[in-house]
Structure 1
Amino acid sequence: MSHHSKAKQLLQQRDELDEKVKELLLVLETNNSTMDSPLVDAEGYPLNTIDVYAVRHARHDLICLRNDRAQWTEKIVEEMEQDEEKMGESAPIEEKPVHRTSNEPFVKVSSVVELSPADVGGFRKEDLIIQYGNLHHGNFKNMQQVAEITKEYENKTIRVTVIRDHRPVRLEISPKKWSGPGLLGCNIVPIAGANV
């Protein structure tokens, strides 16, 4: 499917971008600089121990690349969603696709019990959740909503999208009673001022 390769292509381009980011961070490191360390001494003179020009350039490029990266991620998620819609997976007809306004995570998985429904469904510790059923950053208010959706979907399937290693991963989680506590067997916690 030509479409499928588009998402692959985007992922590849994003990997190349990550390589550039690494190189630029090296420039900063070589000059003992960070994104916001001073380039001038107390008197306002350029520090002669660093290549001010190179550092300024690297910083500028890094800011641009970070913005580009966020856009790539948006595009990749969109492409993957289109792939899914095209393949028309065995999605129940009445389930409308949820259009997220952002790919910002709003909660994260802080722990998963082995062999629990969460574990079987593919949740991993540190997964950042950007969509949980119809919940996303745009309409999430409190943890109560997560609990309600989990209950509502007992013995059914919740579609979940998480960011793992900077990549969107789609999961299908089926909450159900099992030998452990709760219907999922994992801890989901809010993210304070999340920025990925």
Structure 2
Amino acid sequence: MDRKIEELLLVLETNNSTMDSPLVDAEGYPLNTIDVYAVRHARHDLICLRNDRDELTKKIVVEMEQDSKDNEKPAVSEEKPVHRTSNEPFVRIKSVAELSPADIGGFRQGDLIIQYGTLHHGNYVDMKQLAEITQQSENKIIRVTVIRDNRPVRLELCPKKWSGAGLLGCNIVPMTGANV
């Protein structure tokens, strides 16, 4: 686009003309020292290209602003510090979808969750609690601690809508005899 603008400006320069210089003499006849047809078309095309470039620039600015908003770190959910009494897991990650919020947050298949926000083995009753915390924390960070390779690992998970199902993109199962 810029190259085309430069070419059109060269047409004007070659004809000793500008965007505002007259194309007719004092009596209203076309100047015989310039190619009036070429200058008029160059002016028209320049105006169109400059308008197109301005519109494109505006769109780029809007997209860049949107990208910077999308890349801002989400707010941490307002959870009080949790003092769990053990590192005993209460749920397990059965599978993690690629590029899901769970994958981005660092979840791995086989991770054993010992803390999910305010939830831990001591206050865990059922999977509904996990679902409630997840839904209440959409677009907010949940602090999660998992056991991986026999060591606790702290993760930050941000549940959000993504191209797959749910807000996490992983399958979490309760710790029962069959799922351990």
Q: TM-score, normalised by structure 2?
A: 0.55
* Identical counterparts, % of pairs: 76
Q: Alignment partner for residue 119 of structure 2, among 124, 128, 135?
A: 135
1:170–1:190 Cα change, 3 Å: same
Amino acid at match of 2:166: G
Q: Which residue of 1 aligns with 2:167?
A: 183
Q: Which has the larger radius of gyration?
A: 2
CA RMSD of aligned residues (A): 2.1
For structure 1, the residue ranges without an aligned partner over 5 or more in a row are: 1-90
Q: How many residues align?
A: 105
Q: Does 1:167 align with 2:167?
A: no
1:9-64 residue CA offsets vs partner (Å, 9 max, x unmatched) = xxxxxxxxxxxxxxxxxxxxxxxxxxxxxxxxxxxxxxxxxxxxxxxxxxxxxxxx
1:95 is displaced (CA, Å) by 3.8
SS in 2 for 1:171: strand
1:101 is displaced (CA, Å) by 1.6
Q: Which residue of 1 aligns with 2:128?
A: 144
96-105 vs 126-135, which moves further:
96-105
Amino acid at match of 2:109: K
Once superposed, which parts of structure 1, at least 4 consecutive aligned residues long, lie more than 6 Å away? none
Amino acid at match of 1:179: S
Q: Which residue of 1 aligns with 2:90?
A: 106
1:92 is displaced (CA, Å) by 6.0
1:98-154 residue CA offsets vs partner (Å, 9 max, x unmatched) = 000211000000000000000000000000000000000000000000000000000
Greater share of helix: 1
1:38-96 residue CA offsets vs partner (Å, 9 max, x unmatched) = xxxxxxxxxxxxxxxxxxxxxxxxxxxxxxxxxxxxxxxxxxxxxxxxxxxxx969643
Q: Which residue of 2 aligns with 1:158?
A: 142
